[in-house]
Amino acid sequence: MGLPSILRVRKRNSTEKEGSQSARSTPPPTKEALPLVSGPNATTYDIKRATRLRKAFAISASVSYLLVFIFLLLILIGNTFNKSVLKDIYFFKLDLTDIIPTSVPNASLINSIAQSIGLHDFYQVGLWNFCEGYQNSGITFCSEPQKLYWFNPVEILMNELLSGATIALPTQVITILDVLRITSQIMFGFFIVATILNFLMIFVSPLAIRSRWWSLPLAIAAFLSALLVVVASIVGSVISFAFKYAATAQSDLNIHAYVGVKMFVFMWLASGFSIWSFIVHSGMGCCCISRRDLQTGRRQMPGSNKAAQSAI
């Protein structure tokens, strides 16, 4: 009778040992990783991670506005003073060195007389003023910066060669000067407004991260900025190449004209970055999840599903 009781005890002990060994060998249950959630329960980390792409585009737009502002600032201050950097930034340069061709009798004498009474070797034009000088001594004078400035070559030549005397100009010349004045003043105003607008957009652009509703006014402002810069660049380019063509078309005079390379590059780099900013803000109006989309639950967090959220 004692033997079966001993066997029962041994069997119970072996069963307990097997249970303890299986418990040790079985890994502890792991919690399933909770999916990202949207709506009021979305965490700050989830929102930041889900809106990284939108943030990257908004930052790229701000950087573009900063570059546009720098290029426009260089355009504004170019040719205003006889400084090492500023004097090389101009729209175009008229070269009147030896304006009378050598084929004309006594050409050297006439050129010397023209210089002695006030004609300079070259004239270069910026947004605010013009500068003049001689080939052997560089720039000798820059006019005072004026708002809505436009370059009037006839007036300058009259003041320097004829001591301010007036002469009757053909109607065609007067029409050309009127067109030049209007377009130059339009370009001046567009560059000024675009500079101010792009400076403000540097700081306003990141608002597009918060909501897609911000993309509409920002896209409108970006379109206005791009329009101002591109139109002003077109006008500046047309005026520069028109002077170059008009100067070289005068076969009776030895006049040369050169387009300012630095000014030309600055204008069109500013135009390119302005167009990029407009494309970015227009795209963010329909693409890329915003913070408001996640907080209100209008858009689902990437990688989440409604079933997982309801289980939570």
pLDDT digits (tens, 9 = 90+) for 211-254: 667 778 888 999 999 999 999 999 999 999 988 888 777 666 67
* Beta carbons within 8 Å of 246's beta carbon, 6+ residues apart: 257
Q: pLDDT confidence of 32, banded at 50, 70, 90?
A: very low
Whether 13 shows a pLDDT value over 60: the answer reads: no
Q: Is the pLDDT of residue 17 over 60?
A: no
Tokens 């209007």 map to which residue? 182
The dihedral region occupied by 271, where left means phi > 0, alpha psi between -120 and 50, and beta the remainder, is alpha
Strands (E), the chain: 92-95, 122-125, 130-134, 138-142, 256-259
Give 309's pLDDT tier (boundaries 50, 70, 90).
very low
Residue 37 confidence class, pLDDT cut points 50, 70, 90: very low
pLDDT at 55: 76
pLDDT computed for residue 175 by the predictor = 83
- Strand 138-142 versus strand 130-134 pairing type: antiparallel
185-217 confidence digits (pLDDT tens): 999 999 999 999 999 999 998 887 766 677 788
pTM for the model stands at: 0.75
CA-to-CA distance for 142 and 121, rounded, in angstroms?
Answer: 14
Alpha-carbon span 187 to 184, nearest angstrom:
5
Residue 263: pLDDT band with limits 50, 70, 90:
very high
Residue 123's SS3 state is strand
Bridge partners, residue 141, by sequence = 132
Report pLDDT for 266. Answer: 97
Average pLDDT over residues 58-80: 94
pLDDT of residue 307: 33
Please state the rounded mean pLDDT for residues 96-103.
70
Say how far apart CA 244 and CA 258 lie, in whole Å. Answer: 6
When mean pLDDT is compared across 18-22, 60-64, 83-87, the lowest value belongs to 18-22
CA distances 251 to 101, 103, 293, Å, are 9, 12, 67
Q: What is the pLDDT of residue 96?
A: 81
Assign 10 a pLDDT band (cuts: 50, 70, 90).
low
* Cα distance between residue 196 and residue 194, in whole Å: 6
